[in-house]
A and B are shown apart, each in its own frame.
Chain A
Amino acid sequence: MHMSRTHAGVQVNTDACFNFEFDGKTLQGCEGDTIASALLANGVVVIGRGFKYHRPRGVWGSWTEEPNAIVQVTLNKRTLPNCLATTTLLETGMQVKSVNAFPSAAFDIKGGLNLLRRWLGAGFYYKTFMWPNWHLFEPMIRKMAGLGAVSEQCFDDYVSDQLHETCDVLVVGAGPAGLVAARTAAEAGESVWLVDDHHTLGATHFYHEFIEGVAARSWIATQLTAIIAAGATVYSSTTAFGIYDHQLVGLMQLQGFAQAPRLIRLRASRIILATGAIDRPLLFRNNDLPGIFSQSAALDYLSNYGVSVGKRVGLASVHNADQVHDVFAKHAIEVVALNPQDEALSAIGRKQIQSVNTSTARESVDALVVCGGLTPTIHLWSHQQGGLRWQKNIHAFVPNREQAPAGLFVVGAAAGIYTLEDALSDAVHVAIGRASTPNLAAVSIPMPSAKTQNRDSQWIDVQHDVTVKDVDVAVQENYASVEHVKRYTTLGMAVDQGKTSNMLGLAALADKQKVSIPEVGITTFRPPFVPVPLVTYGGQHTHLHSKPPKRLVLEPTHRALNAALCEYGGWLRPGWYGDGRMDEHVQQEVLMTREQAGILDASALGKIEVMGPDARNFLNFVYYNRLDNLQPGHIRYGFMLTEGGSVYDDGVVWCMDEHRFLVSCSSSHVAGVEQLLESWRQDGNNPNQIYVHNATSQWATITVTGPKALDIVNALPLPIELNMAEFKHMRFLEATYQNHTLRIARVSFSGEISFELSVPTTQALMLWNDLLRIGKPLQAGPLGLEAMSVMRAEKGYIIVGKDTDGETMPHDLGFTGPRANKTAAFVGDRSLHTKTAQSSSRRQWVGFTVPKDQPMIPVGAHLVNGGDKPKSIGVVTSSYFSPTLQQPIALGLLEAGALRLGEQVSVWHMGQQSRAKVVSPCFYDVSGARLHAG
């Protein structure tokens, strides 16, 4: 190995050197190096192996276009797979490993696959591995495929910030055109962002010594100073990776190795793309050999990193060859000029290039620099389906300004403008929003085609190992469309997404089909422009930030009482209280409630007020049940249906006065019900006659339920004393508690006498503590949701969504009245009378029992009809061991269940059958004596 750093480049600090490793060898790099520049400086040429044939591969490019130099990097015990060596900044102590090679890139045991190449061409796998089946061959293929390995390591702090920003003008790319555009717009008073993915701004320009008569570096510095002085926001290491609808740009901002990049969602009124152009490779035999570089990369390494790619360098270029020659000469690099169109051009060497064959000579070289033309970087333009036009003289697709997506503009080389003067004046026009028709005819760049011989050794996509021959075979087999060729050969589908291979592929395809490139068309570019970590898209929307559960105001109190907090309908609520076995606590809480009383935090219940002169008729329309005759002080249970007639929500409606109602929907449906009410209110009703106000979060509700409930409530410091003879079931009244409104509703989900006490949330803690204190000597205590769920099952009450599904209609649950009798229109009404809704085999709500000594019926078991091939006729939706009845009980939906009461039915669970008796869904206090006690 030799050091090929000839001088200090602009970007590296040769005074700050440090060690790193490549494939186990210790090497030295400098501050400012990329991994690739450091490897080249150390004379490392073979960096990886091809995906399919494991041919040796080296660095080709110097930035995001690089197809080969993909490495696995470990730093501070963090390993990242598939890092691009050309864009990853070198840091002290990095351990760099080649991927797809074992034990190392230089000596890869699978290198022999190259010999089998003739059998492994495009799509070979579609033609074999069919017998006995693919799954047998698959593990072997999978092991061969894939680049780096991802560790199962989780980095705790690997989390992306996400910022949202806006600006007038975003300029992407800080080359000369981008700088001029940014400066012009900023000086015109617009709020401007200028971003570039490089670590150093303005470092991408190496062709011109002078710009506008000033030394290039000093010109760039002047522009940057002016841009910043004009108030623009300027970011380096920031990639615009995608443009989304309504001019939203995804910006990825690097934060250092193994740190999650930041996502900036920037909405810009205008987006000016100054993204430059990418060098095309040339097609000739063995054009994939290590030591063959793109022209711009060779210049980049030389000027920015002080690294010469060789001492005697072949140059085969269709663009700016003279300038390159001069630059090399200035650095005392010997240049062998080669004709890029030479039909006999080929590279020779085993693991790296050693010589070049031409039609006239064999030249010994240690590197070959090529340029087969330029491809404007139009990915972002294409993300928004911007129109393209074939520009013949430069053999390139350029953005068609007449088919520009809203707010999108392209300047500079990305627009196909390859002369500096034209590019700068055009950029000025575009920046101030003036129409500009740049001259694209000033420069001509030929496009050498593939050589006719050795087509299976001319590499189009070096990362996916696709040759000209592969394209030929695809065409021969009539995979003739550009999309078919891409997919059949996998051309352009590698990590680099065809940045270098795409145009070569189109040219080879056009060549083979004897048509022009624009007739072949182009494949679609997809975001992101460069690979972006998943975490950058996902941001912090994980763990509790992922669909965050709603919290009760009394949560700390419940925690202090050792509540098991579980998620119910999007709310974190106490399931039961106390450590240890859940079933024991649940049983104890049920018995406590049935015998004394339980105190439940029911704050999650919906409390939506519906007010106004039309409120009564409105609710009568929105609810299945009649509400037009609900009297003030009364409460009614009812269903909300979808227009399709299925039960959406159940809840109770309070009539506060003639024009004011409270909809107490189930806790999981508050947002949905509110939305439903609002949409019916505004679309189909007069919204000035009805108001909907969701007050759920303003009120806390505590339910006291059980035989001692009345004693407990009456022991509160209230101005009234409840009298059960007057305060009947399904009534409510208002009182004051600690100078605040207290709403007391007599509704029950447990089957016992219950009072729902609602107070402003500020009073919740006091009320809860008062109730617990009063309840304690009466053996009443906190009650969790699980016990409540058991008690409601004992009563045969449904939980919508658990006991019903999207097909359940109210008459399936025994609520037939309104369907038959309600004369006013209501949501879902007509759907209750379709052929299906009238079917006699609908699944109806019933209970099931098994003898006391038998195990519980599992929830999720199906009810089946007999026979060899059992068929589902229903499901078990709820099942408990009833502490009250000391026997298993179950509920579910059964075909024509209401007609089968008393029958035995087969229960089917995971292949096992048992028997159960169909009963009425109400197991407890069937007469309602406890509920209506007064």
Chain B
Amino acid sequence: MQQFPCPFCGERDEREFHFLAEAGKERPNTTVSIDDETWARYLYKQRNEKGEVQEIWMHLTCREVFLLKRHSVTMAVSESVSLRQGC
């Protein structure tokens, strides 16, 4: 059982969290014409790094969505960042 730091609630059991996506994915502007490849890349392609990763997670109990930086082999968590910074 891992522990992830919610930016608001602190360290919590991994079962309270839900993995949403890799960080940095930008939804293409679908009001203009985009090709199949561009859309498929957005929908499906993953960096899936072995090592340091940056991911978007939700803390299900408080509903906060945040950026989690962790290591995909050691599972060491380096940082969690609220997406609200700069808002």
Q: How far is the CB of B22 from chain A (nearest CB, A)?
A: 12
Does A678 contact B63, Cβ atoms closer than 8 Å? Answer: yes
From A267, A830, A834, give the contact of B3 (CB < 8 A): A267
Nearest A residue to B26, CB-CB: A684
Interface residues of B in 1-36 (CB under 8 A from A): 1-3, 18, 20-21, 27-31, 34, 36
Contact with A along B56-67 (1 / 0, CB 8 A): 101010011100
Residues of B within 8 A of A406 (CB): 74, 76
From B20, B30, B39, B87, give the contact of A683 (CB < 8 A): B20
Q: Give the size category of A's interface with B.
A: 20 to 34
Interface residues of A in 676-696 (CB under 8 A from B): 678-679, 682-684, 686-688, 692
Nearest B residue to A682, CB-CB: B65
Contact with B along A246-268 (1 / 0, CB 8 A): 10100000000000000001010
Contact with B along A802-841 (1 / 0, CB 8 A): 0000000000000000000001111001110011000000
Does B65 contact A244, Cβ atoms closer than 8 Å? Answer: no
Nearest B residue to A694, CB-CB: B63
Given contacts A246-B2, A265-B1, A834-B36, contact A829 B20 (CB under 8 A): no
Interface size counted on chain B using CB atoms at 8 A:
28
From A244, A684, A831, give the contact of B39 (CB < 8 A): A831
Is A675 at the interface (CB under 8 A from chain B)? yes
Contact with B along A41-60 (1 / 0, CB 8 A): 00000000000000000000
Is A448 at the interface (CB under 8 A from chain B)? no
| Distance in angstroms between the alpha carbons of A678 and B59 in the assembled complex | 11
Does A248 contact B65, Cβ atoms closer than 8 Å? Answer: no
Is B84 at the interface (CB under 8 A from chain A)? yes
Q: How far is the CB of B70 from chain A (nearest CB, A)?
A: 10
Q: How far is the CB of A675 from chain B (nearest CB, A)?
A: 7
Residues of B within 8 A of A678 (CB): 58, 63, 65
From B18, B29, B36, give the contact of A835 (CB < 8 A): B36
From B1, B29, B65, B77, give the contact of A825 (CB < 8 A): B29
Residues of A within 8 A of B31 (CB): 823-825
From A244, A248, A682, A826, give the contact of B83 (CB < 8 A): A682
Residues of A within 8 A of B63 (CB): 674, 678, 692
Does B36 contact A244, Cβ atoms closer than 8 Å? Answer: no
| Distance in angstroms between the alpha carbons of A405 and B76 in the assembled complex | 10
Q: How far is the CB of A540 from chain B (nearest CB, A)?
A: 16
Q: How far is the CB of B11 from chain A (nearest CB, A)?
A: 9
Interface residues of A in 611-658 (CB under 8 A from B): 643-644
Does A687 contact B87, Cβ atoms closer than 8 Å? Answer: yes
From A267, A679, A823, give the contact of B65 (CB < 8 A): A679
Does B83 contact A683, Cβ atoms closer than 8 Å? Answer: yes
From A246, A684, A688, give the contact of B27 (CB < 8 A): A684
From A265, A679, A688, A824, give the contact of B87 (CB < 8 A): A688
Residues of B within 8 A of A267 (CB): 3
| Distance in angstroms between the alpha carbons of A825 and B75 in the assembled complex | 37
Does A830 contact B65, Cβ atoms closer than 8 Å? Answer: no
Given contacts A245-B1, A688-B87, contact A644 B74 (CB under 8 A): no
Residues of A within 8 A of B83 (CB): 682-683, 687
Q: How far is the CB of A204 from chain B (nearest CB, A)?
A: 30
Does A244 contact B74, Cβ atoms closer than 8 Å? Answer: no
Most chain A Cβ neighbours within 10 Å, of B3, B65, B84: B65
Nearest A residue to B29, CB-CB: A825
Nearest B residue to A835, CB-CB: B36
| Distance in angstroms between the alpha carbons of A267 and B58 in the assembled complex | 23
Residues of B within 8 A of A826 (CB): 30
Contact with B along A444-470 (1 / 0, CB 8 A): 000000000000000000000000000
Does B75 contact A245, Cβ atoms closer than 8 Å? Answer: yes
Nearest B residue to A671, CB-CB: B60
| Distance in angstroms between the alpha carbons of A831 and B40 in the assembled complex | 9
| Distance in angstroms between the alpha carbons of A679 and B20 in the assembled complex | 8
Does A682 contact B2, Cβ atoms closer than 8 Å? Answer: no
Q: How far is the CB of A252 from chain B (nearest CB, A)?
A: 16
Residues of A within 8 A of B39 (CB): 830-831, 834
| Distance in angstroms between the alpha carbons of A405 and B75 in the assembled complex | 11
Contact with B along A381-395 (1 / 0, CB 8 A): 000000000000000
| Distance in angstroms between the alpha carbons of A400 and B84 in the assembled complex | 43
| Distance in angstroms between the alpha carbons of A405 and B20 in the assembled complex | 28
Residues of A within 8 A of B65 (CB): 678-679, 682-683
Q: How far is the CB of A673 from chain B (nearest CB, A)?
A: 13
| Distance in angstroms between the alpha carbons of A265 and B1 in the assembled complex | 9
Residues of B within 8 A of A823 (CB): 31
Does A687 contact B2, Cβ atoms closer than 8 Å? Answer: no
Does B58 contact A679, Cβ atoms closer than 8 Å? Answer: yes
| Distance in angstroms between the alpha carbons of A265 and B15 in the assembled complex | 14
| Distance in angstroms between the alpha carbons of A245 and B74 in the assembled complex | 8
Q: How far is the CB of B54 from chain A (nearest CB, A)?
A: 13
Nearest A residue to B34, CB-CB: A830
Does A686 contact B43, Cβ atoms closer than 8 Å? Answer: no
Nearest A residue to B60, CB-CB: A675
Does A246 contact B1, Cβ atoms closer than 8 Å? Answer: yes
Does A830 contact B30, Cβ atoms closer than 8 Å? Answer: yes
Q: How far is the CB of A254 from chain B (nearest CB, A)?
A: 22
| Distance in angstroms between the alpha carbons of A235 and B20 in the assembled complex | 41
Nearest B residue to A247, CB-CB: B3
Q: How far is the CB of A34 from chain B (nearest CB, A)?
A: 33
Residues of A within 8 A of B77 (CB): 246
Residues of B within 8 A of A245 (CB): 1-2, 75
| Distance in angstroms between the alpha carbons of A675 and B56 in the assembled complex | 13
Residues of B within 8 A of A244 (CB): 1
Residues of B within 8 A of A830 (CB): 28, 30, 34, 39
Residues of A within 8 A of B36 (CB): 834-835
Residues of B within 8 A of A687 (CB): 83-84, 87
| Distance in angstroms between the alpha carbons of A688 and B82 in the assembled complex | 14
Does B1 contact A248, Cβ atoms closer than 8 Å? Answer: yes
| Distance in angstroms between the alpha carbons of A245 and B76 in the assembled complex | 8
Q: How far is the CB of B28 from chain A (nearest CB, A)?
A: 7
| Distance in angstroms between the alpha carbons of A683 and B67 in the assembled complex | 10
Does B30 contact A682, Cβ atoms closer than 8 Å? Answer: no
| Distance in angstroms between the alpha carbons of A683 and B18 in the assembled complex | 14
| Distance in angstroms between the alpha carbons of A823 and B31 in the assembled complex | 7
From A643, A675, A834, give the contact of B58 (CB < 8 A): A675
Interface residues of A in 853-902 (CB under 8 A from B): none
Interface residues of A in 179-215 (CB under 8 A from B): none
| Distance in angstroms between the alpha carbons of A826 and B31 in the assembled complex | 9
Most chain B Cβ neighbours within 10 Å, of A267, A678, A688, A824: A678
Does B87 contact A686, Cβ atoms closer than 8 Å? Answer: yes
Residues of B within 8 A of A824 (CB): 31
| Distance in angstroms between the alpha carbons of A674 and B31 in the assembled complex | 25
Q: List 9 A-B contacts (CB under 8 A).
A: A678-B65, A683-B83, A684-B27, A687-B84, A692-B63, A824-B31, A830-B30, A830-B39, A831-B43
- In the A-B complex, list the 8 residue pairs whose CB atoms are closest, starting with the nearest: A682-B65, A245-B75, A825-B30, A830-B39, A830-B30, A246-B2, A829-B30, A245-B2
Other contacts beyond A692-B63, A830-B39: 8, CB < 8 A: A678-B63, A679-B65, A682-B83, A683-B56, A823-B31, A829-B30, A830-B30, A831-B39
